[in-house]
């Protein structure tokens, strides 16, 4: 158990819909990372927050947004979903920037 909790574990939704993925980091960790993993693209960095502030952005689509709340949990919002958004979405946390990251079990999103 990494100490990082992601909910829900599975999500099936229709194209055009909006979903919210939730992540609770390990106790005391200030950094939260979001990644998308698909078979052909590997683990793609989306966005990172440190102590409530956005600090790094990867190839995150404009339809996607995230935030980190004062209690340090984070949410990833995906809107106007397309079939190609189907993937595993991982959240990870670390104590500081670029230190060892601990991953949650992921949310498997299926867009039908």
Partner 1 sequence: TQLLEQSPQFLSIQEGENLTVYCNSSSVFSSLQWYRQEPGEGPVLLVTVVTGGEVKKLKRLTFQFGDARKDSSLHITAAQPGDTGLYLCASGGSNYKLTFGKGTLLTVNP
Give SS3 for 104: coil
Q: What is the Cα–Cα distance from 28 to 23, expressed in whole angstroms?
A: 14
Q: Which is nearer to partner 1, 15 or 51 (CB)?
A: 51
Q: At closest approach, how far in Å is the CB of 47 from partner 1?
A: 10
Residue 12 engages partner 1 in binding (rule: CB under 8 A): no
d(CA 20, CA 7): 9
- Using CA atoms, how far residue 11 sits from 37, 52, 104, in Å, is 15, 26, 16
Ranges within 49-108 binding partner 1 (CB under 8 A): 50, 55-56, 58, 88, 90, 92, 94, 97-98, 100-106, 108
Size of the site for partner 1 (CB under 8 A): 27
Rounded Cα–Cα distance for residues 71 and 25 (Å) = 10
Chain residues that interact with partner 1, rule: CB under 8 A: 2, 4, 31, 33, 35, 42-43, 45, 48, 50, 55-56, 58, 88, 90, 92, 94, 97-98, 100-106, 108
């Amino acid at each position: 158990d990494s100490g990082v909790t992601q909910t829900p574990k599975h999500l099936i939704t229709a194209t055009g819909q909006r979903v919210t993925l939730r992540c609770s980091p390990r106790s005391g960790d200030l950094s939260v990372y979001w990644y998308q993993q698909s078979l052909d693209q590997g683990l793609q960095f989306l966005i990172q927050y440190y102590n409530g502030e956005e600090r790094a952005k990867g190839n995150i689509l404009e339809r996607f947004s995230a935030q980190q709340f004062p209690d340090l949990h984070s949410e990833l919002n995906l809107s106007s979903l397309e079939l190609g958004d189907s993937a595993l979405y991982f959240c990870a946390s670390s104590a500081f920037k670029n230190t060892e990251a601990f991953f949650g079990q992921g949310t498997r999103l299926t867009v039908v």
